[in-house]
Amino acid sequence: MSSTVNVRVPTILRTYTAGESDVSVQVGEGATLSDVVQALDAGYPGIAGRVLDDAGQIRRFVNVYVNDDDVRFASGLDTTTPDGTKVSIIPAVAGG
Amino acid sequence: MTITVDSATPANSGRNPDLGRATGLSCRECGAISPLGPFYACTECFGPLEVAYDYGHVTREQIDAGPKSIWRYRDLLPVPSGVADIPNTDPGFTRLVRADNLARELGVKTLWIKDDSGNPTHSFKDRVVAVALAAARELGFTVLACPSTGNLANAVAAAAARAGIRSFVFVPSNLERPKIVASAVYGPTLVAVDGNYDDVNRLASELAGEHEDWAFVNVNVRPYYAEGSKTLGFEVAEQLGWRLPSQVVIPVASGAQLVKVDKAFRELLALGLVDGEPPRIYGAQAAGCNPVAAAFKAGHDAVRPVRPDTIAKSLAIGNPADGPYVLDVARRTSGAVEDVTDDEIVEGIRLLARTEGIFAETAGGVTIAVLTKLLREGLLDPDAETVVFNTGQGLKTLDAVTTAVGPTATIPPTTEAFHALEVASR
């Protein structure tokens, strides 16, 4: 069984998605955010390197939301992403 | 290093923007350079972009010849040289009050309050918005927008009205009533969002990706906007007679203000406009939203987001964009970041009002209470010249003190009733 996860792509990453602001990826059952990022990179090569740092962690100026929750409040890259999950990647340099 | 730049320059009419002596946008994380444009995050690493300049020569005389507003520092801002002639709110040059009564009460030798409640919409946000508006026009934007904890919404709505353009402001729906009314009155499209500020901020970031012709002042034109806070530092130095204080206490929400005041002091030193040492910089947060203070005290470099719960709603940013840089500044200058409880905030508001006749909003209460706490803890030098920033007006956050202060008594209109109170001889 595979699951569909929808990903909201920020403007600065749309060069990887041919301008698309919303893309979807297929991941296995029980997949996590980490799997979603890998699947994203398979479809749009290079995108993972923009979201993750050299140590494979989410860059400090990137906010990632799984549905409505900042993954820093959940389990980070280990946050589960069941079928129909919406993932948003947003630059963290806004506000105040 | 490869430099990729999004070719979409949303609303730019095609001409080169006149942004004064600004030369480009530089990533604070990796140093990659982007051209001047509506960019805010580095395409390489998502790091925040900052305006870079070639200042050349700037003199005190040039500044002194300018208007009594932030535009006297126009050569140090990303704005056109004729900015003072274009309709804007023209904020700044607010009073620097020598606070001898408060100093005596706290046992401090020399204390000043930089009282930014005197700006057109009564908070420091007029400074950043005025710069954002000036830059946004040059970049070709025709709509002003923002997510806000209130003060920014006031400032954006007023500035857009002055400029004769549309504005969209997004605020948490549980905001203090005066801040909602004091935005709505200027005629923006005001959207109250069920959620906290971080939720509103996220929504605005997503909308900024959809409406690329809207200048979200603190999102897609944030590099320009944030530079406006430097004027607080410039003014403090000029009002002290072109001197730097030894230490300053500044409230921390996103942290951009504190970081930019530090930048202002360093620029003045680099330009030879002042001599001496850069001040020690202290950040002030509420205990109910203290991600930066917590990281400072724990010795961490990263700031872990929190869910805010404090009466200091203008500082209630649980995921502060400039948090890591506040830590850098506080550590580099031998300052600190401290937090205080809501009760201490109310006491801080009352203390400043009672001693100096300045009614601060909750953020000002945070700063005064942190000043008190830092002195108590021995982290602030009572013999060193100190400047404390009051960034907003108490009338906007009346609820914070309505249960703490009120009439001494209610009496019938007779002298006997007044005498019976025995208050005159106390």
Domain B96-122+229-402 has CATH 3.40.50.1100: yes
Which residues of chain B fall below pLDDT 70?
1-15
Residue from B4, B27, B39, B46 whose CB has the most chain A CBs within 10 Å, to mutate: B46
Of A21, A70, A90, the CB nearest to B205: A90
- The verdict on residue A96 lying in a domain is no
B305:A12 CB<8 A: no
For chain A, helix, strand, coil in percent to 5 are 25, 30, 45
Q: Which residues of A touch B145 (CB under 8 A)?
A: none
Number of domains making up chain A = 1
Q: Could you give the CA distance from residue B339 to residue B341 in angstroms, rounded to a whole number? A: 7
For B414, counting Cβ atoms within 10 Å of its Cβ (0-12 exposed, 13-18 middle, 19+ buried), the class is: exposed
B48:A61 CB<8 A: yes
pLDDT tens-place string over residues B368-424? 999 999 999 999 999 999 999 999 999 999 999 999 999 999 999 999 999 999 988
Give, in order, the Cα–Cα distances in Å from B276 to each of B34, B73, B189, B238. Answer: 33, 21, 47, 14
| pLDDT of B14 | 57
* pTM metric for this prediction: 0.94
- The verdict on residue A16 lying in a domain is yes
Of A8, A12, A51, the CB nearest to B41: A12
Tell the residue number behind the tokens 């909201």, with chain if given. Answer: A8
- The verdict on residue A57 lying in a domain is yes
The enclosing domain of A28 has a CATH number of 3.10.20.30
Q: Which domain holds residue A51?
A: 2-91
One fold for B96-122+229-402 and B125-225:
yes
- The verdict on residue A14 lying in a domain is yes
The structure tokens listed for A30 are: 């029980």
Interface A–B counts its CB contacts (< 8 A) at: 102
Closest chain A residue to B208, measured at CA: A11
B205:A91 CB<8 A: yes
* Domain B125-225: top CATH class: alpha beta
Give, in order, the Cα–Cα distances in Å from B121 to each of A54, B62, B125, B363, B365. Answer: 45, 28, 8, 15, 19
Q: Which residues of A touch B201 (CB under 8 A)?
A: 94-95
User: How close is the nearest chain A Cα to the Cα of B309, in Å?
Assistant: 16
Closest chain B residue to A46, measured at CA: B44
Closest chain B residue to A90, measured at CA: B205
Residue from A11, A14, A62, A65 whose CB has the most chain B CBs within 10 Å, to mutate: A11
- The verdict on residue A25 lying in a domain is yes
| pLDDT of B426 | 73
Mean pLDDT of chain B: 94
B27 contacts: CB under 8 Å, gap ≥ 6: B33, B34, B42, B44, B45, B47, B48, B49, B50
- The verdict on residue A29 lying in a domain is yes
pLDDT tens-place string over residues B297-340? 999 998 999 999 999 999 999 999 999 999 999 999 999 999 99
H or E segment to which residue A23 belongs: strand A22-28
Of B43, B206, B305, the CB nearest to A70: B305
Q: Which residues of B touch A10 (CB under 8 A)?
A: 41, 205, 209
Domain boundaries, chain B: 96-122+229-402, 125-225
B202:A65 CB<8 A: yes
| pLDDT of B7 | 36
